[in-house]
Amino acid sequence: MNQQNPGPFRPPQQVAFHRTELSIILGLYGRMVAAGEWRDYGISSLREVAVFSVFRRTAENPLYRIEKRPSLRAKQGMYSVIGMDGQILKRGHELKTVLRVLERKLIRSVG
């Protein structure tokens, strides 16, 4: 048999959240909507980053951005939560761990 060489590794054309990642994010989103904190969201799949943006009102700038950057997988971690002002609130290798920064905000607002 003659096998062809698959050639050099090519990164995907765009980064997207996997179903399990979206399940985790949407679980938190549902709890925040129920608490009256969040009202809308948007998802962007770009060449180097996937972004889940959270809004208090539809026509505003996002309150938070949850980003997935696979190029940072071996460094700081590919997941991050970024605030409205562009400040990175948390970065890491596991999505659930990174989202805890937003979970604490939910506990404070409910409690």
Inside any domain, residue 11: no
Q: How many structural domains is the chain composed of?
A: 1
| Nearest alpha carbon to residue 98 among 63, 71, 64 | 64
Inside any domain, residue 14: no
Question: 44: domain range?
Answer: 19-110
Query: Is residue 100 very low, low, confident or very high in pLDDT (cuts 50, 70, 90)?
Result: very high
Inside any domain, residue 7: no
Tokens matching residue 9: 């590794």
Spatial neighbors of 25 by CB under 8 A, at least 6 apart, are: 17, 52, 66, 95, 99
Q: With contact defined as beta carbons under 8 Å apart, do 92 and 98 qualify?
A: yes
Q: To the nearest whole percent, how much of the chain has pLDDT over 90?
A: 63
pLDDT score of 10? 62
pLDDT at 24 over 60: yes
Inside any domain, residue 38: yes
Inside any domain, residue 10: no
Inside any domain, residue 59: yes
Query: Is residue 33 very low, low, confident or very high in pLDDT (cuts 50, 70, 90)?
Result: very high
**What's the average model confidence in pLDDT over 88-101?**
94
| Nearest alpha carbon to residue 13 among 76, 96, 79, 70 | 70
Inside any domain, residue 2: no
Inside any domain, residue 4: no
Per-residue pLDDT tens over the stretch 39-67:
999 999 999 999 999 998 766 789 999 99
